[in-house]
Structure 1
């Protein structure tokens, strides 16, 4: 047989074998492979979808019937991108299609109805836009539809009333408009109707909703409703959860709600209900376990009949309730959550509260309560949060609190408590916040137990009569972030162990009788932001090491006996507040402090001169002999020439030596094509080029030989460890390097570019693009803020939002910044915004995108989400809260923490003021002549972002969409009705009875 024939025969066998091998996959698998070909799969989650298999039943996300037909596709949080994979609808028995939290985009195609056997369809948290296909009701067996957190627009199709088996429809957080979909009230099979946070045309609640006789959960927050709850709601006999927050409902609270016999939860906060809570009708609500009527205008007393119910949770905060807290509450066996803060309640706390109930949260702050704290609050051993701020409670703290091992937060400030704090409270194992400020407590702090308090991050004891010294063992509280101990009777020296607290950001020991010197070890507090030692008996020289505190911006050492010169190191700080008055300082005031902002910083130091002080006396003798000065000048000039020559020679010698031997630099990573060398960067890192400091190092401006400017961040030698500890990373250095490498790969116009990273000796250097207009915080809260008009502020907001959207939704894995604030939003030459400073950023790798627990709170005061501060758990919703505060900053022009807010922060002040007075009372006066319509819409977006419930905050994708939609003329605009209430309307629908704000 000829060789050519044998070769041809072998080739035919190979082709036949491969053909059979390729087409061994059944038809179900071929459809899936076709769908895969239309998708981008950056995490390779579909890598086992192998065309060489016989069946797809073992592939990731695939479930098959016994006969081998695909019945379910579940690929949540898989980072898949591309259009909707229509090939899925060719699977004849597919009943479940679940693709939430991916990056699918374009539109939901009308031929999705080809998936004729679907019962479950979840496309939530993607990028779908356009209208909802009207063909969906053609899928006759559809039971569950979830399209929340997309960008769907237009009206909900009227044909949706044709669904016959649909039980759940969730369209929350989209851009739907038009009239509220009354057609859905024909779908009597519905159990969950969730349409919150859309842009429906304002109108009353449709009475037809009473036709939904099987509905159990109705979430219609922010749907544009006004008027009252219709009487037809009495027909909703199975309703257990009703949420109507963020609408404009008016009138007295409807009695009809109290007829719901299966009602488990009511949330009607942020409406305009007024009048008294109904006194009767509560006894019919035998299934009621949870009720939240917070943030309304209810008056009168708390109904005794209500408190006799077997409640698990009662929230009546932020109303105008008066009278006593009913004693019957103490007899509720299931009560674990009681929140009545911000009312005008009076009298004692019920004596047996907590005796029979597993009380976990008790917040009675800002009422007019008096008497003592009941000793039974933690009798069931479950109490976690005890918050009683701003009452007139008195007596001693019960000793039983010291036995309450479950306690995490104790806040009893602004009362009249006296005596000593029980010693056991100082040793509770889980407590992270102790707030005893502004009471009459006495005794000393020696009971602080170094064996307990493992999680303590805040001690607030200002405004009491604590005496004695600060115990040396306070240095063992390794997670301490804040220590407020001003206005007490503390004596002795400041213990050196205090300066071992690497996470300390605030140290306030003012108004005491402390003596001695400030230890040089203070320079170890690299994260210290505020240092207040005013009005003590401290002496000695001010340590120059204070100038090594990289993020210090508040320094008050006034009213002591410090002497000597003002240390030169202070000139390197970027201080918003400096007060050295009332000491015995001498010498010249450094030129950096010759500014109006420091005019009163040096009063009461008669030996100081320079700046605003005329006391510098020139040497008359030196002025009298001009010839001698001329001779000296000649000698000095000659000496300078000689020194310059020597320096030049040494410099050239070292340059040649480095060229021959190699510079002692180990290159870490270059992320872009660079036009400069590491050696050039090193030579530009001097104190004259410092432009700021961060939590982990100094920042320098380096002007390169090619004329380009870069920003160089030089990390402290211990910063890596400190940052990891602070962020709860506790990871080895290679993990940190991996994260830096990942950040270096980021390519987004709204995130500061990291040019390169490298090591030089013990230093780690990060080289970023230079942002000539500094930070948003500096621009907004300085005299330069007047230069930022609304159009510029809005542009900055959109830019920053798009940067965060990229981090949350486009990075794999997603990145939570954890320190979003105006000072970390930098501005380029055109005022384009960039997100910066990833020193405490955290990768979220959890499969279900849940929150992750941290060891300490990272972030900045006023920006930290309440659940993060309370629970130390973080996810992307924490960033959204912080970004909401940034929105409020730009709208109000105010800082997140301001003395005029009293004990509140910006978020609380804005919410309270808007609810009580309206939106015009919070807008920055500098924006008086700007577009109020758009400003109000942006303000509303900010209020959505700071929602106290993380689940109710929009995603970053939704925030960007809302900001972009706020410039569209057809969006809702506020109007003022005859009764003075603010409700939304469309410009074309605003009647003569209302005027646009």
Structure 2
């Protein structure tokens, strides 16, 4: 009896110890509670998983039960869960048919015992952090119909066992790190309807012809899979296929005629391959075809008339070798919204009714040999947004109807034979941001309606016959970045309102008939980088205030009627080009400009004097020569004395410090015209002038004799090690960093890239001489006590400047350059807080084949800035830089470092996302920023989050980032979607490539 009572007491005691949330739960509820405890839930998304009013978990978030209150479905999409997948727990839910955990942070490997979840029909683990190889046991799931492992970090091969799936209909392994080849065994899964394997770094391999056995297949997406060879003829068996995408591979040969037997096709994408031949005959069989994109191949011949009679919505044939005339039947297409055939050999006239029947949105026929008039019906349906017709032989006038097309955003009609007046309405279209009319024969004047073009950023009118007065209304264009109207007949003076264009970077009106004086207040154009007013009749004095335009580096006022002195303030500018020749200037040249590099900049001004040959050189007799001789002797003697004192001082200091630098063995390589020699630099490399140091060396501030300052990076030969043969060899990393910096900065020129003046080398030491940045690096400024000095307008300017610098590297350099170490400490600030991208020691060029650079042997970059996929693959491309720049944006918005002990194991990106979800945006933004800018700051924050997307495919290109930042700074700008309407692909890769871009 006592024994029985003791047992009962012990049982009650243990029962009391059990958590109340578990005691009343069913067995399945208990399993799910264990599942919750095995994961990190920082957003408390599983907070309802403690409700014990019912004995089952059927009311919990993300849980679905059947009529018997048995769990059948778990959908925890976007719950922000962290940790490994506890399949040993989940597989105890014997009736679980659906498991969806998309867009979380499920990590580690996918366990082999996933095969124990035998009731599963739907498994979606996409957009997580799973690593390792694909479990070969997955095919043991007898009922599985849907398998989505997209956007993880799976590596290795696709197991051959995947050919044993019994009921699988959908398999998506898009954007992983699979690096073997596509197994032929997949051709055995005849139940498949969707096969998505795109964006994996497979080894070069052929398409398995066994794929043609998948007679139920509806979607085949093998984009960017490193496929080679020809398209298998066995694909003729895919009668149910509607989406056929083999784009961005290395396929060759012709498009097989068997494609015309795939009669269910709605979408064909074969762009960016090496296909040749002609389009196959029999395209009229594809009666459901809506989209065809075979661009960027070598396909030739004529465009078949039967192709144009299909119900097409999107036709992309650009960058091929098509010839002949465009079939007139294309004008009859009732659904055509995208028509891009640029860069071919097409001739003749465009069909007269083009656009009359179809709602054209994107129209690009550039770089062909078209002639005749522009069809007046292009905007008949009122939907046209992009009209690109550059580099053809179009003639006649611009149709008046285009002046009423208020949807237009991008107009490029340059390099044709167009003439007449531009329609008044076209000047003032409200959404146009690019209007390019260069190299035609247009006449007339700029209409006053241009004041209504509030979104206009680029206005290029050069090389035409425009005349008349530039209207005051142009001063309303708050978003205007460039106004180029050289080689026209504009007259009168520049409008006073032009000083209101606060965003203007380029003003080029050379070779016109402009007169009057420069408008007052021109110094308010703080972002002006280029001012070219050469060959006009502008008079008056050159304003002293021009010297305060800190970013101006191109100034050409030659062949005008300017008079008075050369403003002393001009020597404050960092000019790459200066030309004040052939005016009526007089007086002394500013002393810092009395250099041979500027001599041609001042010729043709009879009253101008200075210490330059050819200026004031009229022969003033022997007395003048004698004075000059005495002056020269005095200067030489003084220099010898100063040099001797300095030499003695440094010789003494070098002996004292136990090291000496042999200056006679230095080799100087310059990249700009220099006003100094290597001795001036070498003599100032002492510890008192050190302003920074890093792994590769030290950085010194050197003040030159002319008062200017430069920054000098000294890179020593590195660590030396003794080899087996007794030889001594240097650490190759330092040499590589130096060579990369010289190779990159020596050939690029941009206002937002730090300028490399020259380099000096000797056997044991290398020097890089840069322009000096008085405000140091963004990282030092932002994360120090001075961070409060950076108000929001300044931070926004820094973000935009840095973005433009990176956009130049990615889009305007040939080949493109990937920086690989974008961070706030590598963004330097000038005296006006203008930003320059610096430190190109690990920069790489992108291979011309468009596949990005090859794998690196080590990870380059800094902690907190490295893109997730780079750390796994060591493969680098522009998307890696974009991620790093996104982190910089988050630093500017939050004021926090990329890695901070406060974040725990997270970084700034993860902290920002979690804090936004849990506490809201106010807890993310830097409290030092004025709240009146909150809306603008939030927009920039969103750009930073886009740039730091874990999927490179979702990160915008740098050119797009620049445009989005500009739109944030504008008042009336609206962000346009980059998503193409009507695309059927499950994902759309927008690389933001801008054919023939002006920017």
Please indicate the TM-score interval, normalised by the length of the shorter structure: 0.5 to 0.7
SS of the residue corresponding to residue 468 of structure 1 reads: strand
For 1:66 and 1:880, locate their aligned partners in 2 and report how far apart those are by CA, in whole Å.
Answer: 46
Whole-Å separation in 1 of the counterparts to 2:13 and 2:153: 54
Structure 2 residue aligned with 1:218, among 217, 220, 224? 220
Kept in 1, the 8 Å contact 2:882–2:955? The answer is: no
Shift of residue 449 of structure 1? 4.1
Q: How many residues align?
A: 754
1:188 paired to 2:262? no
Match of 1:287 in 2: 288
1:579-594 matches, within 5 Å, as 579-586=579-586
From 120, 123, 130, the equivalent of 1:121 is 123
Question: Hey, what does 1:799 align to over in structure 2?
Answer: 861
Native 8 Å contact 2:527 2:549 kept in 1: yes
Matched, 1:501 2:501: yes
Partner in structure 1 of residue 470 of structure 2: 470
**Correspondence for 1:752:** 824
**C-alpha distance in structure 1 between counterparts of 2:571 and 2:585, whole Å:** 16
1:95-114 alignment, distance < 5 Å: 95-114=97-116
1:386 CA displacement: 1.3
How far is 1:362 from its partner? 1.5
Matched, 1:881 2:957: yes
Q: Is the 8 A contact 2:21 2:50 kept in 1?
A: no
Does the alignment pair 1:401 with 2:388? no
Q: Report the counterpart of residue 163 of structure 2 in structure 1.
A: 161
Taking the TM superposition and a 5 Å limit, the aligned residue runs for 1:526-605 are: 526-586=526-586, 600-605=600-605
Residue 127 of structure 2 aligns to a residue whose secondary structure is: coil
Aligned to 1:457: 457
Greater mean deviation of Cα atoms: 430-439 or 82-91? 82-91
Separation (CA, whole Å) in 1 of partners of 2:206 and 2:108 = 33
Task: Measure the CA separation in 2 of the matches of 1:245 and 1:474.
Answer: 44
Q: C-alpha separation between the residues in 2 aligned to 1:875 and 1:489?
A: 51
Matched, 1:337 2:363: no
Q: Cα distance, 1:257 vs. partner?
A: 0.9
Quote the residue 1:700 is aligned against: 774
The structure 2 residue matched to 1:951, chosen from 970, 981, 988, is 988
Over 3 Å counting, the alpha-carbon distance change for 1:589 and 1:776 in structure 2 is: farther
Q: In the alignment, which residue of structure 2 is the partner of 1:440?
A: 441
User: Tell me, what secondary structure is at the counterpart of 2:154?
Assistant: strand
Note the C-alpha offset of 1:517. 3.0
Structure 2 SS opposite 1:36: helix
Q: Distance in 1 between matches of 2:98 and 2:140?
A: 16
The equivalent of 2:700 in structure 1 is: none
SS in 1 for 2:546: helix
* Distance verdict in 2 for CA 1:28–1:492, change over 3 Å: farther
Indicate conservation of the 8 Å contact 2:867/2:880, yes or no.
no
1:525 aligns with 2:525: yes
Q: C-alpha displacement at 1:726, in angstroms?
A: 8.0
Within 2, Cα distance between the matches of 1:423 and 1:219? 47
Instruction: Map 1:652-671 to 2 at 5 A.
Output: none
Distance 2:84 2:160 in 1: 26
Instruction: Report if the CA contact (8 A) 2:457-2:479 is conserved.
Output: yes
TM-aligned CA deviation for residue 593 of structure 1? 5.3
C-alpha distance after superposition, 1:761-795 (max 9, x if no partner): xx9999x9xx9x944399999xxxxxxxx999968
1:821-845 per-position Cα deviation (integer Å, ceiling 9, x unaligned): 89x98xxxxxxx9968976999998
Is the deviation greater in 211-220 or in 590-599?
590-599
After the TM superposition, which residues 410-425 of structure 1 pair with which residues of structure 2 at under 5 Å, given as runs?
Answer: 410-425=411-426
CA contact (8 A) 1:586 1:609 kept: no
Residue from 157, 170, 173 that aligns with 2:172? 170
2:206, 2:446 → 1: CA distance? 59
Measured after TM superposition, the shift of residue 363 of structure 1 is 0.9
**Counterparts of 2:495 and 2:474 in 1: how far apart (Å)?**
9
Is 1:519–1:543's contact at 8 Å kept on the other side of the alignment? no
Secondary structure at the aligned position of 2:867 is classed as helix
Summarize deviations over 1:391-423 as a string: whole Å, max 9, x none: 100111111112222222221111111111111
Do the aligned residues in 2 keep the contact of 1:417 with 1:441 (CA within 8 Å)?
yes
Give the Cα separation in 2 of the matches to 1:795 and 1:481: 41
Tell me the distance in 1 between the aligned counterparts of 2:854 and 2:572: 31
CA change 1:323–1:712 in 2 (3 A) is farther
| Structure ranking higher on relative contact order (CA contacts 8 Å, 6+ apart) | 1
Partner residue, 2:758: none
Within-5 A mapping of 1:729-748: none
**Displacement of 1:623 after TM fit?**
11
User: Given that residues 178 and 201 in structure 1 are in contact (C-alpha distance below 8 angstroms), is that contact kept between their aligned partners in structure 2?
Assistant: yes
Residue 171 of structure 1 and its aligned partner are, at CA, apart by 1.4
Conservation of the 8 A alpha-carbon contact between 1:296 and 1:318 = yes
The 3 A distance-change label for structure 1 pair 519 and 233 is same
1:150 CA displacement: 2.4
Distance 1:602 1:19, change over 3 A: same
**Following superposition of structure 1 onto structure 2, how do residues 366-405 of structure 1 map, counting pairs within 5 Å?**
366-405=367-406
Q: 1:35 to 1:513 in 2, by over 3 A?
A: farther
Please give the alpha-carbon distance, in whole angstroms, between the structure 2 residues aligned to 1:874 and 1:346.
45
1:429 Cα deviation after fit? 2.8
Residue 220 of structure 2: SS of its match in structure 1? strand
With over 3 angstroms needed to count, the CA separation of the structure-2 counterparts of 1:31 and 1:46, relative to structure 1, is same
Contact persistence 2:230–2:251 (CA under 8 A): yes
Q: Assess if the C-alpha contact under 8 Å between 1:819 and 1:841 holds in 2.
A: no
For 2:66 and 2:16, locate their aligned partners in 1 and report how far apart those are by CA, in whole Å.
31
Residue segments in structure 1 that go unaligned for 5+ positions in a row? 1-8, 630-686, 728-747, 758-762, 782-789, 811-816, 826-832, 848-853, 887-947, 956-997
Task: Tell me, yes or no, if the aligned pair for 1:700 and 1:711 is still in contact at 8 Å.
Answer: no
Go from structure 1 to structure 2 and tell me whether the alpha carbon gap of 1:77 and 1:316 turns closer, same or farther (over 3 Å shift).
same
Q: Does the Cα contact within 8 Å between 2:842 and 2:860 map onto a contact in 1?
A: no
Residue 395 of structure 2: SS of its match in structure 1?
A: strand
SS for the counterpart of 1:401 is helix
Partners of 1:714 and 1:765 within 8 A in 2: no
Residues 476, 331 of structure 1: alpha-carbon distance in 2 compared, 3 angstrom cutoff: same
User: Structure 2 vs 1, CA of residues 774 and 371 (structure 1 numbering), >3 Å: closer, same or farther?
Assistant: closer
Secondary structure in structure 2 of the residue aligned to 1:273 = strand
In the TM superposition, what are the counterparts of 1:772-811 in structure 2 within 5 Å? Answer: 774-776=838-840, 798-799=860-861, 803=865, 805=867
Partner of 1:490: 490
Tell me how far 1:108 sits from its aligned partner.
Answer: 1.4
1:138, 1:115 → 2: CA distance? 10
CA displacement, residues 552-578 of structure 1 (integer Å, 9 cap, x when unaligned): 343333333334444444444444444
Q: Does 1:32 find its partner at 2:28?
A: no
- Looking at structure 1, the residues matched to 204 and 59 of structure 2 have their Cα atoms a distance apart, in angstroms, of 50
Do the aligned residues in 1 keep the contact of 2:353 with 2:375 (CA within 8 Å)?
Answer: yes
1:237 and 1:598, CA in 2 relative to 1: closer, same or farther beyond 3 A? farther
Shift in Å, 1:254? 1.3
Q: Residue in 1 aligned with 2:154?
A: 152
The worse-fitting range, judged by mean Cα deviation, of 531-540 and 602-611 is: 602-611
- Residue 237 of structure 1 aligns to a residue whose secondary structure is coil
8 Å CA contact 1:594, 1:612 repeated in 2? no
Structure 1 residue 805 displacement after superposition: 2.1
Name whichever of 13-22 and 602-611 sits farther off.
Answer: 13-22
Shift in Å, 1:530: 3.0
Write the mapping of 1:342-357 to structure 2, written as runs, cut at 5 A.
Answer: 342-357=343-358
Whether contact under 8 Å (1:723, 1:839) holds in the other structure is no
Supply the distance in 2 between the matched residues of 1:791 and 1:202 (Cα, whole angstroms).
16
Are 1:750 and 1:802, in contact at CA under 8 Å, matched by a contact in 2? Answer: no
Question: In structure 2, do the counterparts of structure 1 residues 178 and 548 end up closer, same or farther at CA, with 3 Å as the change threshold?
Answer: same
CA distance in 2, matches of 1:281, 1:610: 78
Is the contact made by 1:228 and 1:249 (CA closer than 8 Å) also made in structure 2?
A: yes
